[in-house]
Amino acid sequence: MSEVHVADAAAIFQQYEKMIYSLVHKSIAFQGGVFDDLIGEAYEAFMEALQTYDPDKAEMSTWLYQKIYFKLLMTQTRTPEKRWNVSLVELTEVENASTPNVGTMATLDELSADAKSIAALVLDPPQWLSTLALKHSPCARHFKKTITDFLKAKGWKQAKIKRTFSEIQNALKA
């Protein structure tokens, strides 16, 4: 980007200010968040977009929109707390959850700690997890996918998740 554009950043921002505020409000409506935090992220993305803008690649408005949109999306989905819109207290409750009393399914007591954590999520899901799963469908497949996505966001590897779900299935078959 040329130095002229950097010097005119304030003027360019004013020109696209309505679009930027609109993106922030849409982002809040879709993912939630705090306006002041997101407008700061949007401004940071705006400045980065100005520095990388190439008029041969796209119109300024298209370039800015794309860069700001994806920056806001990444900001809101980079941590489990932001992605799932839950507090650290709720996440700690899930991590420290023990398997509820399941009566005749005593085989669950023989599961690994990871499997017990997943079983606790399935047998006694927190309200926010149930709500997320029901947004897709009341189908059990979507509930499993919601739990899988949550565990991935917590840093679990796909192989570990698959192995743990298999352990639970084998215990329930026995």
Q: Which CATH number fits the domain that encloses residue 62? A: 1.10.1740.10
Residue partners of 3: CB distance under 8 A and separation at least 6: none
Domain boundary residue, one of 21, 50, 78 = 78
Same-domain pairing of 68 and 146: no
Task: Tell me the mean pLDDT in the region 10-34.
Answer: 87
The candidate with the shortest Cα–Cα distance to 42, out of 59, 21, 12, 60, is 21
pLDDT for res 67: 93
Give the domain-ending residue among 36, 62, 78. Answer: 78
DSSP code string of 31-72: H---HHHHHHHHHHHHHHHHHH--TTTS-HHHHHHHHHHHHH
Q: How many domains does the chain have?
A: 2
Instruction: Quick: pLDDT tens for 97-146.
Output: 444 444 434 456 677 888 888 877 777 777 767 666 666 555 555 677 77
pTM given for the model: 0.47
